Structure 1
Amino acid sequence: MRFIRHICAGLALLALAACTPAEGAGSEAQAVSAPEGTPVARHGALSITDGKVVDAHGEPVTLRGMSLFWSQWGPQYYTRETVDWLVSDWKVTAIRASIAAEGDDSALQHFDREIAKAATVIEAAEANGIYVLVDWHAHRDHADEAEAFLTEIARRYGHLPNLIYEPFNEPLREGVDWSRDVKPYHERMIAAIRAHDPDNLIIVGSPSWSQDVDIAATDPLEGENIGYTLHYYAATHKQDLRDKGDAALEAGLALMITEFGIVEATGDGPIDMESSNAWWDWAEANGISWLNWSITDRDESSAALKPGTPPAGWSDEDLTESGRILRARLRAAAEAEGY
């Protein structure tokens, strides 16, 4: 499977049409290609080597992008036009679909509807040649439903080179232990994914809202292409959390920041640019990908959009202060990398 994907990446770089994935890649497998000049055309399938995320050529990769909001509460942005706009105007290289698995009206009650939202974002990301994280956005163990969801995503889309799985958004702190509770959950989810997708990245959460990466590093998961997410909110989390990240990196874990805010951990409150810049400097120095929370028009300071903003075509007046900061940061990074 990895060999086939590397061929596909090479063909995309030569602007050839496509190649067909290997037999057994899933009953709904389709031709794999990426538009010329896009992140997926440049990098192909990602993997983890020596604690670093690398591309099909063995070169380190840092993805930068945005996370969509809880899918049951921000469905208007789970659209092709939103993804198109984030790629063309914000210059994201990755997007995160936060498929809600908590609360009323979530995937726990409307499985097929939420699968369809994930599918829309995945297919839009594929068409735009960017990477897509599919996040089972839960704080508690819903293992049966999570396994069914991740199995279906892997069965349909596991052949794509741009797919990344996030099986558990933020395990809670109280009464949750990494080795006793969270690690066995991930082992079950990894097995379910690998039954259909043998090699795409799986980025796992840890207790304390995906901040106990140092504890996970003392008892890591076995298997290839497994990384760990580290979540932070800059106005709340400072150097002590980066110290936990450093400990995980020193132990050989590959990290991705699949969710962060430049505000407080509540998702609201004032923007802390001093702390945000310290976090960005740390992430960039360590080659750690990051995705900001979030694309929504909710009335809180972490939201990138003002209330009532349509799915695409946003002017500067449609953006919150957070949205304007993130758009500028993403566009500058893309320009530096030649996108």
Structure 2
Amino acid sequence: MSRIATPVGQYGQLQVRGTKLCDESGEPVQLRGVSTHGIQWFGWGSCVTPDSLDALANDWQSELCRIAMYIQEGGYETNPDRFTAEVNKIIEEVTKRGLYAVIDFHTLDPGNPMENLRNAKRFFDNVATEYSHNNNLIYEICNEPNGVGWTTIKSYAEEVIPVIRAHDTTNPIVIGTPGWSSLGLSHIGSDGPQEIINSPVEGDNLLYAYHFYAATHGQWERNQLDVAAEELPIFVTECGSMEATGGGDSDFESTQAFIDIMDEHTISWAFWSYSDGPGTSSLWEQGTSDDGRWIIDNLTQTGKWARKKIRNVEM
């Protein structure tokens, strides 16, 4: 059964006002949803299908789908045209279902986003040109910068954002932060969020990425997030209940504590990952993509928990 009103139908064109992501009328909005795993492994025709997206939109009541496009590791750089076409296909399918599409340029290794600057400009020029009239896009320009400080990331953002804005002047852009998008908390020598607060990227409708894995990150990180959210517009474009490796046991108590802070500050979030691979981070049991039944019985323990949180159901 389809939902009565889609998220895009309800919230319309997103904008950033102060420290809040807001709907078309300027009211703060919190989007909940999932991230795919790398689409070179779990993309269109595997874990991203018409049926799996129907389940995400109608059963999970998700408001967003983050499309994780790796650059290396068999991703974009191996065939830019193919991966751009696949991202475009998923954008179109997500759009049909009235969800917001987070377009994740999945910077990871190398951690310096400047090393993929040319790829980023080419990719975002193509996507922003194609979908400049869509009101459901959120551009995430560098997933998890690492090994470099805020000055380098800011310079990268100042190169990539104008490429997007040449075609799409409105849709929000999320900027990765030092230390695997930890707001600098995991970057040696960083002053943490204060570096970004003191020297933000200039422009409208910009947010800053924060990622957490609740079995690795705890009260100290939550305290820092709580403080930073008073000064910066933050989007948790990736999070999980397990360890930062994607494995280990889930810590649902710690995850809930993070969710409580995100609720308090109206911070949007995407849970990792809408896939059926090995490891605790997969929301679907292995073999679900072959089985083709995107039903509750095929969810992992983590998947069942995440689904309830996305549906905003009390546990």
In the superposition, the TM-score normalised over structure 2's length comes to 0.90
SS of equivalent residue, structure 1 residue 228: strand
Distance 1:271 1:70 in 2: 21
CA, structure 1 residues 57+272, in 2 after alignment: closer, same or farther (shift >3 Å)? same
| Structure 1 segment 146-157 matched on structure 2, within 5 A | 146-157=120-131
Instruction: Look up the match of 2:255.
Output: 276
* 2:35 is the alignment partner of 1:56: no
Matched with 1:87 is 57
What is the match of residue 309 of structure 2?
A: 329
- Judge conservation of contact 2:47–2:276 (CA < 8 Å) in 1: no
1:239 to 209, 215, 219: 219
**TM superposition shift of 1:273:** 1.4
Q: CA deviation at 1:78?
A: 3.1
Q: Distance in 1 between matches of 2:47 and 2:197?
A: 35
Asked if residue 114 in structure 1 is aligned to residue 80 in structure 2, the reply is no
| TM-score normalised over the length of structure 1 | 0.84
In the aligned structure 1, how far is the partner of 2:307 from the partner of 2:72?
29
Gaps (5+ residues) in structure 1? Answer: 1-34
| C-alpha distance in 1 between matches for 2:227 and 2:128 | 31
State how many pairs are aligned: 295
Deviation (angstroms), 1:144: 0.3
Give distance in 1, aligned partners of 2:93 and 2:246.
Answer: 27
Deviation at 1:36, TM superposition (A): 6.4
> Secondary structure of 1:135's partner?
strand
- 1:209 alignment partner AA: W
Q: Is the 8 A contact 2:52 2:294 kept in 1?
A: no
1:144 aligned onto 2:118: yes
Q: Tell me what 2:69 maps to.
A: 99
Matches within 5 A, 1:176-325: 176-179=148-151, 181-212=152-183, 214=193, 215-251=195-231, 253-310=232-289, 313-325=293-305
Q: Give 1:177's aligned amino acid.
A: G
Q: Which amino acid aligns with 1:42?
A: Q
Residue 158 (str. 1) matches residue 116 (str. 2): no
Partner of 1:11: none
Amino acid corresponding to residue 119 of structure 1 in structure 2: N
The CA deviation string for residues 245-297 of structure 1, in whole angstroms up to 9 with x for no partner, is 2332232x111111000010000000101101100111001100010000111
Q: Which has the higher mean CA deviation after the structures are superposed, 186-195 or 36-45?
A: 36-45
Q: Are the aligned partners of 1:78 and 1:117 in contact in 2 as well (CA < 8 Å)? A: no
Deviation per residue, 1:96-136 (Å, 9 max, x gap): 00011121x21011111111221122111211111110000
Partner of 1:6 in structure 2?
none
SS in 2 for 1:77: coil
SS of the residue aligned with 2:281? coil
- Aligned partners of 2:89 and 2:283: how far apart in 1? 21
Structure 2 CA distance, aligned partners of 1:78 and 1:148? 24
- Which amino acid in the other structure matches residue 40 of structure 2? Q
Q: Secondary structure at the match of 1:72?
A: helix
For 1:190 and 1:281, locate their aligned partners in 2 and report how far apart those are by CA, in whole Å: 31
1:80/1:121 contact within 8 Å kept = no
Between the two proteins, what is the percent identity of the paired residues? Answer: 37
- Pairing partner for 1:77 from 44, 47, 52: 47
Structure 2 residues not aligned, in runs of 5+: 185-192
For 2:271 and 2:221, locate their aligned partners in 1 and report how far apart those are by CA, in whole Å. 17
